[in-house]
């Protein structure tokens, strides 16, 4: 059996690596339009950072795992084709800002239609709006030359930074197919692939539309939990309650559960906002205005939380951060990833830059080029020293990338933790305090540090959702 995956990204790369690892008898090829991406996958510098990924790639690459730009050849030779291309939010036209942009996805579907010479199972892996399989079927049938393309939905639930663990030990694998004899047969073929390492009772079979919708709903529910606890964090600060204690007590109810209740500066990542907006758009298209409004609020609270943090920094620092140096620890959307897509750090940093603060940013995985790109800075003043000052021609804005947390904090008026990297728990905060301007402010956007310990050192501490005690 041969499997081809179109799209060598965060989802396609790790997923196919684990299939190749667990199914040595199956040849797995990952193809992509981007030659640069494929070259990176074939090198020692993989295009994405995921703990454990490189070891698997080293083990399988060249054995039963290939990365190639020859889409036509590998599509035509494969029995199962996964579509794992990006589906960003549309930026213009109908549904702009909400609907999924299916341009890449349709282009992949047309490539399959053109390249196929025999029957195929085509698997939707990227998150798509519900009933996308209908359009996919039409594109494939339109150009089918008598070939049968059986469509399945097999959404991926992996989280970044823990992709390999999620793939090796998934909570569930969801496979949706058409309820026809051919559909059921195709479901069985894919089920057999996963059965190489996933226990039978974790492989869920559903109808196609349920599978497509479940992915959007799972992400919407997860994001909703974060917005719920973040909304409560504001109330905790106002009342003297501690959001960690509240979340712990609430999460002990087995109907609620303890996971995903960490208050933060807001959720980021490539999926949550995009998928909720997509859900909102689908609801609106179906005339369900109240349902759409309900889910919109999850995104609104997330924006509110980011703004609230920026306002807290400014108001605490005597209502001005102009010309003050602020150390930003963490820029990625979460720990253990270099991914900055929709990271709340972008909005927080931009908010501080607009107030004319000088930022020295340290993140263990995010490059200075990426930070510069995300903050839309001017490229011309880029120098390659560890500490870099960038100048925007319109307003003079200053951003530096420090090579470690101590360097970032040296001489700063304030430290902001924006990503919960483990190394930030173990820093020598006494040393940091001594190197800073006084009063030394500390804004913990991820509840990483013990505020009591930092206050004992002398910091003025603000932690999300915790009682405020200045000075």
Residues that bind ligand ADP (CB under 6 A): 6-12, 32-34, 37, 84-86, 104, 107-108, 126, 270
Q: Taking CB within 5 to 8 Å according to partner kind, which of ligand UDX, ligand ADP, none is near residue 85? A: ligand ADP
Could you list the beta-strand ranges (E) of 407-459: 414-417, 441-444
Q: How many CA atoms lie within 13 Å of 343's alpha carbon, on the beta-carbon side?
A: 29
Q: Taking CB within 5 to 8 Å according to partner kind, which of ligand UDX, ligand ADP, none is near residue 80? A: none
Determine the Cα–Cα distance for residues 17 and 65; give it in Å rounded to an integer: 7
DSSP, res 90: -
Give the shortest CB-89-to-ligand ADP separation in angstroms. 13
In the complex with ligand UDX, the residue whose CB is nearer, 112 or 223, is 223
Give the shortest CB-25-to-ligand UDX separation in angstroms. 28
Determine the Cα–Cα distance for residues 210 and 208; give it in Å rounded to an integer: 6
In the complex with ligand UDX, the residue whose CB is nearer, 138 or 252, is 252
251 is in an annotated binding site: no
144 is in an annotated binding site: no
332 is in an annotated binding site: no
In the complex with ligand UDX, the residue whose CB is nearer, 66 or 164, is 164
DSSP, res 440: P
Q: Name residues whose C-beta falls within 8 Å of residue 227's C-beta, 6 or more positions apart in sequence.
A: 267, 297, 298, 299, 301, 302, 305
What residue has token string 């799209």?
A: 7
In the complex with ligand ADP, the residue whose CB is nearer, 114 or 354, is 114
The candidate with the shortest Cα–Cα distance to 279, out of 306, 297, 261, 263, is: 297
340 is in an annotated binding site: no
- Give the CB-nearest residue to ligand UDX: 269
127 is in an annotated binding site: yes
Q: Taking CB within 5 to 8 Å according to partner kind, which of ligand UDX, ligand ADP, none is near residue 226? A: ligand UDX
Determine the Cα–Cα distance for residues 11 and 157; give it in Å rounded to an integer: 9
Q: Taking CB within 5 to 8 Å according to partner kind, which of ligand UDX, ligand ADP, none is near residue 157? A: ligand UDX
Contact in structure between 310 and 269 (CB atoms under 8 Å): no
Binding site for ligand UDX (CB under 6 A): 156-160, 219, 222, 226, 260-262, 264, 267-269, 271-272, 333-334
Give one word for 198, left, alpha or beta, with left for phi > 0 and alpha for psi -120 to 50. beta
Give the shortest CB-404-to-ligand UDX separation in angstroms. 22
The candidate with the shortest Cα–Cα distance to 412, out of 462, 457, 362, 372, is: 362
Give the shortest CB-52-to-ligand UDX separation in angstroms. 15
Give the shortest CB-151-to-ligand ADP separation in angstroms. 17
Q: Taking CB within 5 to 8 Å according to partner kind, which of ligand ADP, ligand UDX, none is near residue 316? A: none
Give the shortest CB-40-to-ligand ADP separation in angstroms. 10
225 is in an annotated binding site: no
Q: Taking CB within 5 to 8 Å according to partner kind, which of ligand UDX, ligand ADP, none is near residue 160? A: ligand UDX
The candidate with the shortest Cα–Cα distance to 143, out of 120, 123, 169, 126, is: 120
Residue 98 DSSP SS3: coil
Give the shortest CB-306-to-ligand UDX separation in angstroms. 11
Contact in structure between 351 and 307 (CB atoms under 8 Å): yes
Residue 25, Cβ density class (10 Å: 0-12 exposed, 13-18 middle, ≥19 buried): exposed
Contact in structure between 397 and 385 (CB atoms under 8 Å): no
Four-residue CA torsion sign, 421, 427, 429, 431: negative
Structure tokens at 184: 């059921």
Contact in structure between 401 and 361 (CB atoms under 8 Å): yes
Q: What phi and psi, each to the nearest 5 degrees, are found at residue 147? A: -90, 140
Q: Taking CB within 5 to 8 Å according to partner kind, which of ligand ADP, ligand UDX, none is near residue 205? A: none
320 is in an annotated binding site: no
- Give the CB-nearest residue to ligand ADP: 9
Give the shortest CB-51-to-ligand UDX separation in angstroms. 13
In the complex with ligand UDX, the residue whose CB is nearer, 201 or 253, is 253
The candidate with the shortest Cα–Cα distance to 86, out of 104, 64, 106, is: 104
Q: Taking CB within 5 to 8 Å according to partner kind, which of ligand ADP, ligand UDX, none is near residue 34? A: ligand ADP
In the complex with ligand UDX, the residue whose CB is nearer, 349 or 440, is 349
Q: Taking CB within 5 to 8 Å according to partner kind, which of ligand ADP, ligand UDX, none is near residue 334? A: ligand UDX
Contact in structure between 405 and 421 (CB atoms under 8 Å): no
Q: Taking CB within 5 to 8 Å according to partner kind, which of ligand UDX, ligand ADP, none is near residue 267? A: ligand UDX
360 is in an annotated binding site: no
In the complex with ligand ADP, the residue whose CB is nearer, 12 or 176, is 12
Determine the Cα–Cα distance for residues 447 and 346; give it in Å rounded to an integer: 19
88 is in an annotated binding site: yes
9 is in an annotated binding site: yes
**In 383-437, which residue ranges form alpha helices assigned H by DSSP?**
405-409, 429-435
Q: Which residues fall in the annotated binding site?
A: 7-12, 32, 37, 85-89, 126-127, 160, 341
Residues annotated within the binding site for NAD(+) are: 7-12, 32, 37, 85-89, 126-127, 160, 341
């Amino acid at each position: 059996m041969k499997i081809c995956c179109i799209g060598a990204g965060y989802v396609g790369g790790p997923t196919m690596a684990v299939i190749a690892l667990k199914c040595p008898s199956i040849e797995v090829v990952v193809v992509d339009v981007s030659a640069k991406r494929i070259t990176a996958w074939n090198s020692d510098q993989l295009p994405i950072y995921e703990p454990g990924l490189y070891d698997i790639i080293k083990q399988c690459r060249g054995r039963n795992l290939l990365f190639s730009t020859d889409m036509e050849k590998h599509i035509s030779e494969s029995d199962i084709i996964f579509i794992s291309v990006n589906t960003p939010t549309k930026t213009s036209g109908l549904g702009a800002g909400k609907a999924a942009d299916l341009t890449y996805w349709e282009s992949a579907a047309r490539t399959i239609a053109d390249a196929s010479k025999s029957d195929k199972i085509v698997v939707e892996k990227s998150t798509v709006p519900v009933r996308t399989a209908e359009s996919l079927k039409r594109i494939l049938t339109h150009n089918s030359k008598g070939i049968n393309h059986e469509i399945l939905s097999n959404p991926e639930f992996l989280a970044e930074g823990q992709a390999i663990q999620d793939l090796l030990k998934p909570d569930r694998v969801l496979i949706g197919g058409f309820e026809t004899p051919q559909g059921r047969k195709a479901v069985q073929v894919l089920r057999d692939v996963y059965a190489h390492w996933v226990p039978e009772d974790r492989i869920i079979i559903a109808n196609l539309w349920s599978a497509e919708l479940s992915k959007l709903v799972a992400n919407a529910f997860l994001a909703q939990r974060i917005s719920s606890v973040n909304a409560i964090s504001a109330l905790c600060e106002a009342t003297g309650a501690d959001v960690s204690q509240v979340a712990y007590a609430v999460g002990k109810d087995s109907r609620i559960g303890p996971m995903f209740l960490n208050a933060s500066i807001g959720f980021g990542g490539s999926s949550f906002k995009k998928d909720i907006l997509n859900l909102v758009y689908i609801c609106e298209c179906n005339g369900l205005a109240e349902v759409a409004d309900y889910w919109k609020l999850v995104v609104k609270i997330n924006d509110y939380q980011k703004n609230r943090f920026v306002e807290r920094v400014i108001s605490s620092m005597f209502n001005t951060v102009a010309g003050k140096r602020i150390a930003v620890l963490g820029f990625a959307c979460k720990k253990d990833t270099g991914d900055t897509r929709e990271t709340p750090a972008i909005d927080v940093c931009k908010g501080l830059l607009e107030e004319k603060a000088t930022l020295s940013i340290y993140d263990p995985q995010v490059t200075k080029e990426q930070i510069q790109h995300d903050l839309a800075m001017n490229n011309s003043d880029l120098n390659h020293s560890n500490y870099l000052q960038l100048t925007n021609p319109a307003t003079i804005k200053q951003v530096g990338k420090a090579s470690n947390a101590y360097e970032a904090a040296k001489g700063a008026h304030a430290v902001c933790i924006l990503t919960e990297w483990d190394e930030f728990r173990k820093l020598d905060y006494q040393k940091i305090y001594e190197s800073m301007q006084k009063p030394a402010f500390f804004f913990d956007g991820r509840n990483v540090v013990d505020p009591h310990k930092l206050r004992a050192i002398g910091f003025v501490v603000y932690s999300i959702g915790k009682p405020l005690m200045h000075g």
